[in-house]
Structure 1
Amino acid sequence: MNAHEQFIAFYTILRKEIARFMRIWTQTLLPAVISITLYFIIFGAFIGSQIKPIKGFSYMQFVVPGFIMMAVIQNTYGNVVSSFFGTKFQKSVEELLVSPTPSYVIILGYCCGGMLRGLLIAFLVTATSLIFEPLTIFHPLTTVVFVILTAFLFSLIGLTNAIFAQKFDDINIIPTFVLTPLIYLGGVFYSIELLPNFWQKVSLFNPVLYMVNGFRYGFLGVSDIEVWFALTMLVVFIVIFFVINLIFITRGVGLKS
């Protein structure tokens, strides 16, 4: 395929993905906004008013970037894993495999669809947060870079899960037993500086910590982690999962009946 044909293939997959989540927006967009609103009310307004400022910011201000990133992670991951597994379940993935579409075009098509849903969710959650707390962005470029790269990474992870999933229950294992604990222990609700020294060191093995802190630095200008190190870790994870997905799709691992 030449470059123009590859772009058409990419655009076709992307358009299908956008149409998919926009058609059922009451299931793909609205629940995220409602859930985050409840987080704002409970953890921000009710509990947060009883907590001392963290790093010079009110508790509500401190957790807002974490809430936005949490919504992005959950929705980018969920969009790709459900969509690609549905393609496997319906056997239509075989049409992609026999077509001349390069594997990286398939990956980018599905992942960009997940990213767009995640970025749309980020916009909606940010707009919702303004109801509870005025926001100022300390480093706009850093904020945009971290949210885009995080959305891309978890789209790739969702694709990996979908490739190996053999039944619908399999796509819920990672979110339940891996993703949720990593998010809740990734500094969304607290600064790791509040933890004992041992648990601070343990937290450094949580990849979500780097994404949340990089994004928080973009908003507030404070972080528990060196921002350049967090960005490097994020890029490394992206490269690893992109290569993994590229190998699996090229070889048809988990996709061929």
Structure 2
Amino acid sequence: MGVRRFGRVNWLGLYTLASREISRFVVVWTQTLLAPLVTAGLFLMIFNIAIGPRRGDVMGVPFIEFLAPGILMMAVIQNSFANTSSSLVISKVQGNIVDTLMPPLAPLELVLGYLAGGVARGLFVASAISVGLWLTLGIGISHPVWALVFVTLGGVFLGAVGVIAGIFANKFDQMAAITNFIVTPLAFLSGTFYSVQALPPVLETFTRLNPIFYLIDGARFGLIGVSDSNPWLGLAVVSGACAVLIFAAWQMIRTGYRLKT
């Protein structure tokens, strides 16, 4: 019996994979949703106590308000990356990756299924932190559409990076190396804790080459209405980067790179 498809897409298979990836983090919500909320709160509290009163305003807003969107986006990208990468690595280590590769799902459908879990986890985390920021600091959302767009793109971007990293890594220590030496430095050197206008020209140029900078900056514009760059430029840069990463993940799955050998 053939697979029931609507058009050229196996929607049932895609829905099933996406549901599995979402259920992975929902069943352990204290680790995947509550823990990021607590971590974000601790970051904001420590930075506010340590340097907030002496830092003054940044770009015309109090330092704690300037910092909050960056902390939110960092939580989003870290959790989106963790969801996709851990799913693939665990499947490879346990030897059951074949259960995902054997069903009649096209390579792009596999990529989109994994990304659905990463994006959903990022949106859940962003929603929880946004409510916390509103309740504790009174920070609302200045531009809801922009905030939603950049949070979603953040989930797609780091979710795709997670798919690529999960395919490449065969062991947990390899994944830890990718996280510690690539993902974390790019996240911290992205204008989360400072305005790039305060950087020397060389470092400012380097920061503006980092796509995560535009995610942080876009989230900041969406939440508090200020930014270091034009949000339309950020949208173009991040959308292009997402397209490249999705293509790379598709190519790796299509060829079976480090999956079928």
Cα offset for 1:46?
A: 4.2
Contact 1:97 1:252 in 2 (8 A): no
TM alignment of 1:142-181, pairs within 5 A: 142-181=146-185
Name 2:72's counterpart in structure 1: 68
- Bigger drift between 24-33 and 72-81 goes to 24-33
Q: CA 1:44–1:3 in structure 2 vs 1: closer, same or farther (change >3 Å)?
A: farther
**C-alpha RMSD over aligned residues:** 1.5
Deviations 1:44-91 (A, max 9, x none): 344212211011100011111101000001000001100111122223
Cα offset for 1:37?
A: 1.0
Aligned length: 257
TM-score of the two chains, using structure 1 as the length reference: 0.95
Q: Which amino acid aligns with 1:238?
A: C
Contact 1:79 1:117 in 2 (8 A): yes
Name 2:62's counterpart in structure 1: 58
Name 2:224's counterpart in structure 1: 220
Contact 1:40 1:129 in 2 (8 A): no
Deviations 1:5-51 (A, max 9, x none): 71111111111112211112222222211111111111134421221
Counterparts of 2:121 and 2:174 in 1: how far apart (Å)?
A: 22
Name 1:94's counterpart in structure 2: 98
Counterparts of 2:240 and 2:177 in 1: how far apart (Å)?
A: 24
Counterparts of 1:137 and 1:31 in 2: how far apart (Å)?
A: 23
Q: Secondary structure at the match of 1:29?
A: helix
Counterparts of 1:11 and 1:99 in 2: how far apart (Å)?
A: 13
TM-score of the two chains, using structure 2 as the length reference: 0.93
Counterparts of 1:136 and 1:97 in 2: how far apart (Å)?
A: 43
Structure 2, unpaired ranges of 5+: none
Contact 2:133 2:140 in 1 (8 A): no
Counterparts of 2:140 and 2:77 in 1: how far apart (Å)?
A: 22
- Bigger drift between 153-162 and 200-209 goes to 200-209
Q: Which runs of 4+ in 1 moved over 3 A?
A: none
- Bigger drift between 213-222 and 128-137 goes to 128-137
Counterparts of 1:190 and 1:111 in 2: how far apart (Å)?
A: 30
The structure 1 residue matched to 2:31, chosen from 23, 27, 31, is: 27
Deviations 1:96-137 (A, max 9, x none): 333321111111111101111111011111122224311132
Counterparts of 1:95 and 1:16 in 2: how far apart (Å)?
A: 12
Name 2:131's counterpart in structure 1: 127
- Bigger drift between 126-135 and 185-194 goes to 126-135
Contact 1:150 1:211 in 2 (8 A): yes
Contact 1:14 1:110 in 2 (8 A): yes
The percentage of counterpart residues that share the same residue type is 33
Counterparts of 1:185 and 1:99 in 2: how far apart (Å)?
A: 40
Deviations 1:229-256 (A, max 9, x none): 1111101111101111111101111101
